[in-house]
Amino acid sequence: MTQTVEAPIEAPESDYDPFALESLQDPHTFDGASREIAPVVYIKKYDYYAITRFTEIQKALRDWRTFSSTDRPFYAPSPFRPRTLILEDPPEHTASKAAVFKVFSEENLAKMSEYFKAEAERLLDELLADGPVEIEAFRDLAVRYVLKVFPDVLGLPEDGREALLKFGDAVFNVFGPPSDLQAQKLARGAEGQEWVETNTAKELQSEGGVGWQLYQMAEEGKISEHTAQQILKSIFAAGFDTTTTSIASMMRAFADNPEEWQKLRAKPELVDNAWEEAIRYYPASRYGGRVAKKETVLGGVRVPEGAKLLTMWLGAGRDPRQYTDPDEFHVDRDLKGGHLSFGFGIHTCAGNQVARLEARTLLRAMVERIETIELAGEPRRAVNYQSFGHEHVPVRLTPAARA
């Protein structure tokens, strides 16, 4: 018996505009609606494609030869976007990634871990010293913690660290159409750029720090000096906006779901899972980009050669084909199938171990010290093309009675 193979369909055309202000203000609704049209949607307005569902994004990212990283929607060289890693395919990418894995080795992460724990505990003890307290979780918790611990291990000066947030915010607005929003973000990012250029220079790296180790690899001939600086810039670019806004988002998720906080307090062994759920529920990165090197079929949809594609992982994080009750936040959700909030395949987030360590360490210290988290005002999301998160989360924290 011969099996009939269904011919692929053309990607349904959509008027959906992922970059319209209404989409940026409520991406879960708009990216979710396009996910329900088809696994691959043609975005007429820009002549680009969006891969919208979990399974198809995973499938595409497994096949880097077909779905290359060397081009993408709205790609134009920009001083905010280092060319290494995210814009490379193997073999260049393999060498750059190996260098990052070396600086974030198990040994280095173990050293960071002790330091992150001490600082998380110190900050929380200070915030909770006088009993119940109202704080703005983005500034008072996430930014204070992240801008202290990670730049310290990178060996950066205390002064001017806010530049990292401005720079990061611009980085995540490069891949999108020209607009007033983009112009504003890039102008603000330019204020951070000089600081970033200065602090990625070889002569300023303190001995033993992450930058110093990268330049050492250059001296040993493993990577070029240019690549060392570009990798360091990638770490600066991707390592701050993401972690701060995702910690603020996690605070909102707990404030909106007090029973989940109590569940976690009763079972602190769920901390790691709870944070994975928080990043699935509120991913810090909304999409990535690729180019199809040859014609192919994804989820029964034809993808033409040369198609530029967005990989919509925020929408995929709420894909009902992958998750039961995807719009609910449950610290004990079974996440064995994983999530795409750190991407997937060879470009999986190079800093995911650091991001996980930072967030889990903070969450563990919170679980030991905080009885309840309640909203104390209206939270506000950050409006940004590529990143997603909260920039204002007022909360009331009630300390737990401690032995």
Q: Map residue 177 onto helix, strand or coil.
A: coil
Which of 354, 357, 365, 395 is in the footprint of ligand HEM by CB under 6 A? Answer: 354
Using CB under 6 A as the binding rule, whether residue 342 contacts ligand HEM is answered as yes
Using CB under 6 A as the binding rule, whether residue 384 contacts ligand HEM is answered as no
Q: How far apart are CA 41 and CA 300, in angstroms?
A: 12
Contact 154, 210 (CB under 8 A): yes
Cβ distance to ligand HEM smaller for residue 128 or 363? 363
Q: How far apart are CA 14 and CA 39, in angstroms?
A: 12
Using CB under 6 A as the binding rule, whether residue 27 contacts ligand HEM is answered as no
Contact 305, 66 (CB under 8 A): no
Cβ distance to ligand HEM smaller for residue 86 or 137? 86
Q: How far is the CB of 243 from ligand HEM (least distance, A)?
A: 5
The residue whose Cβ lies closest to ligand HEM is 351
Other beta carbons within 10 Å of 3: 4
The stretch near ligand HEM (CB under 6 A) out of 36-44, 182-190, 340-348, 394-402 is 340-348
Q: How far is CA 54 from CA 39, 57, 316, 349, in A?
A: 9, 5, 5, 17
Using CB under 6 A as the binding rule, whether residue 285 contacts ligand HEM is answered as yes
Using CB under 6 A as the binding rule, whether residue 303 contacts ligand HEM is answered as no
Which two structure tokens, joined as six digits, stand for 181?
């929003």
Amino acid at 291: V
Q: How far is the CB of 62 from ligand HEM (least distance, A)?
A: 12
Contact 259, 403 (CB under 8 A): no
The stretch near ligand HEM (CB under 6 A) out of 108-116, 184-192, 262-270, 277-285 is 277-285
Rg (CA), the chain: 21
Other beta carbons within 10 Å of 300: 13
Q: Determine the Cα angle at 275 with ends 125 and 118, to 5°.
A: 30
- Binding-site size, ligand HEM (CB under 6 A): 24
Q: How far apart are CA 5 and CA 244, in angstroms?
A: 48
The stretch near ligand HEM (CB under 6 A) out of 19-27, 164-172, 212-220, 337-345 is 337-345
The stretch near ligand HEM (CB under 6 A) out of 261-269, 318-326, 345-353, 394-402 is 345-353
Q: How far is CA 71 from CA 83, 338, 381, in A?
A: 11, 27, 29
Contact 187, 169 (CB under 8 A): no
Using CB under 6 A as the binding rule, whether residue 399 contacts ligand HEM is answered as no
Cβ distance to ligand HEM smaller for residue 243 or 322? 243
Strand partners, 390: 381
Using CB under 6 A as the binding rule, whether residue 166 contacts ligand HEM is answered as no
Q: How far is CA 92 from CA 23, 63, 84, 168, in A?
A: 35, 16, 8, 24
The stretch near ligand HEM (CB under 6 A) out of 107-115, 281-289, 293-301, 377-385 is 281-289
The stretch near ligand HEM (CB under 6 A) out of 181-189, 261-269, 315-323, 346-354 is 346-354
Q: Enter the DSSP assignment of 64.
A: T
Site for ligand HEM in 194-253 (CB under 6 A): 234-235, 238-239, 242-243, 246
Cβ distance to ligand HEM smaller for residue 196 or 279? 279
Cβ distance to ligand HEM smaller for residue 128 or 196? 196
List residues binding ligand HEM (CB under 6 A): 85-86, 97, 234-235, 238-239, 242-243, 246, 279, 283-285, 288, 341-343, 347, 349-351, 354-355
